[in-house]
Amino acid sequence: MDGLRHDSLTARRLAAALGEARFRLIDVGCSGGLDPGWRAFEDRLSAFGFDPSVFEIDRLAAQETNPEVRYVNGYVGLPDDHPLKGAGGEAWRTDPWRRVSASRTQQLQLAREAGRPAQPRRPAPAYAPLPASPAARAAAGGQPLRAAPPRLAGDATQQDLMARNLWVHAHLDGGTIHLPDFLAAAGVEDVDFVKIDVDGTDFEVLRSLEQTLSGAGVLGVSIEVGYSGTGDPHFNSFHNVDAFMRRQGFDLMDLTVRRYALASLPFPFLYPHPIAAQTSRGRPLIGDALYLRDFGHACRLDPAAWSDAKLIKLAALYCLCGLLDHAAELLDMFKDRLGAVLDIPALLDQLAAEIQTIDPDLNVAFEPFADYAGYTAAYEADVAYFYGAADRRHDQHMAVIVERNAALLAAEAARADALAAQASAAQVWAWHEAMTRTLSWRITAPLRALRRLLARP
């Protein structure tokens, strides 16, 4: 999940105000562990993490210190007999995955490790068209890629595979988990946040949660979205996810774009060797979409139906997701209601301090605003601090570049001087050594000794 902050003091203060209330997180695709940002809720955090990697679930469970955080092995999705199960067809069907440089480099790496020659580079094969109706899809056996995960030849460890994002080659196992049934069996009636990142069937997972999203007081959802695909209403593509989430009453609050270049002329990979994944440029392929509740729409949500704890948790979520402005708006909007359990002015002051540290380069040449009142008064007065951030950031970068370049040039000159002096000293010393080794110098040694003797007082 892109963009979850780990350093929000306001989020920690809001979490502390929850008292006995817990923050319930569902993490579908928890490989790598829960994002550290969630630990802002400390021992109030309850979580279920799901993943098909047996190794990863065992590893996470062994490391976990919070007894309220549990990891479960399996594939979250619709029940096998659900009419929409597999309706999206093969997850990467129209995706250009087989044409991108990440796929090509992974092929090369795996071939190298297995000691076999790499296949020559050539355009990817055509995909079979998707049958039009769910019934036809069912007849065609449209299933996601988990049906037969390819296994890696060679001796790469499970840990290596997870670290290199080659999870599809890892040991995946477990049955289908229908989350509403799972939560009911676990006695969980209340969920605060759901994260979904399963690399393919994300939309199906989301659809399986329709009942939970409407009935369990869910405040937010983060989901990995695909930017490829067709207009098909079942396909795992952003437009379907977005329409679905808006129908459930959520607003899009953040959207990231991850790019993958083609193998035909690839841009460099973002991550260190040997991780072949997204590239510095290229076409948008996937990203993270963040959906949160927004009480600013008077027509959409009735605040009376939401507890104080839910509002506090939503404010904390805004802080964790970098939406400090929305946190301030929410606290201001419900200051009368939440004033009994929260020190609203202190929290607003904390937010004002936090917003000024989020982009430290923008604050050069400006005195920090002491509190929320000072910050908003300056905004109302249209002061220069609030304008031209792009230019300021650029100017600041340029100033730093100039300063660094000047310092580096001076350091380079000093280093060159030092090296020259060192070379000069070495040469002089060499001359000295050569001279003291000459025959005449050694022959005349007694004369010098005699002179030293005579020179004694």
Partner 1 sequence: MSEAGSGIEGLRPDSGFARLVAGSLKAESFKLIDVGCAGGLPSGWRAFGDRLAAIGFDCDAGEVARLNAAERNPNVRYECGFVGVPAGHPLNAQIAGRGYWHLWVAGRLAYERSHRNRAAKAAGEPAPSVDDYFHDIVHNQDWSPFPTHGFDTDYRPTFEIFEPSDEAAAAAVSDGPPDRIIDLAAFAKGADFEDADFIKIDVDGPDYEVLRSANALLARPTLLGVALEVCFYGSHDANDNSFHNMDRLMREKGFELYGLSVRAYASAAMPFPYLDVHPSMNTGGRPVQGDAIYIRDLGSRTRKAEAAALSDDKLAKAAALYALFSLPDYAAEMLVVHRDRLSRLFDVDEALDLLAVQIQADQEPPLLTYRDYMAALESEEPRFFDVYSRRNAWFNGLMATGAAAPRIAEELELLRQDRDALASKAADLERRLGETEARGGHDLDRLRGAEATLAAIRRSTSWRLTAPLRWLARRKG
- Residues 15-74 within binding reach of partner 1 (CB under 8 A): none
Cβ proximity to partner 1, 136 vs 430, nearer residue: 430
Site membership for partner 1, residue 165 (CB under 8 A): no
What are the CA-CA distances from residue 310 to residues 90, 220, 271, 377, 455 (Å)? 38, 11, 37, 30, 98
Site membership for partner 1, residue 455 (CB under 8 A): no
Site membership for partner 1, residue 114 (CB under 8 A): no
Q: Which of residues 175-234 bind partner 1 (CB under 8 A)?
A: 227-231, 233
Cβ burial of 316 (10 Å; 0-12, 13-18, 19+) is buried
* 19-27, 76-84, 197-205, 356-364 -> range binding partner 1 (CB under 8 A): 356-364
Choosing from 242, 308, 371, 395, the residue that interacts with partner 1 (CB under 8 A) is 242
Q: Which of residues 381-410 bind partner 1 (CB under 8 A)?
A: 382, 385-392, 396-397, 400-401, 403-404, 407-408, 410
- Smallest gap from Cβ 57 to partner 1, in A, equals 28
Strands annotated E in 203-280: 220-226, 251-255, 258-260
Report d(CA 356, CA 378) in Å as an integer. 13
Cβ proximity to partner 1, 6 vs 451, nearer residue: 451
- Tell how far CA 257 is from the center of its chain: 12
Q: Crossing angle for the helix pair 308-320 and 324-333, nearest 10 degrees?
A: 160
Residues in the interface with partner 1 (CB under 8 A) total 124
CA torsion through residues 402, 404, 410, 415, sign? negative
Q: What share of the chain is helix, strand, coil (3-state, %, to 5)?
A: 45, 10, 40
Element (H, E) at 422: helix 389-436
Q: Crossing angle for the helix pair 344-355 and 324-333, nearest 10 degrees?
A: 160
Cβ proximity to partner 1, 157 vs 280, nearer residue: 280
Mask of contacts with partner 1, 291-330, x by CB under 8 A?
A: -----xxxxx---------------------xxxxx-xx-
- Smallest gap from Cβ 210 to partner 1, in A, equals 13
Site membership for partner 1, residue 119 (CB under 8 A): no
Q: Which of residues 417-446 bind partner 1 (CB under 8 A)?
A: 417-418, 421-422, 424-425, 428-429, 431-432, 435-436, 440-441, 443-444
- Smallest gap from Cβ 424 to partner 1, in A, equals 4
CA geometry: angle 52, 6, 291, nearest 5 deg: 65
Choosing from 16, 54, 145, 275, the residue that interacts with partner 1 (CB under 8 A) is 275
Fill in the DSSP letter of residue 235: S
Cβ proximity to partner 1, 273 vs 456, nearer residue: 273
- Smallest gap from Cβ 6 to partner 1, in A, equals 16
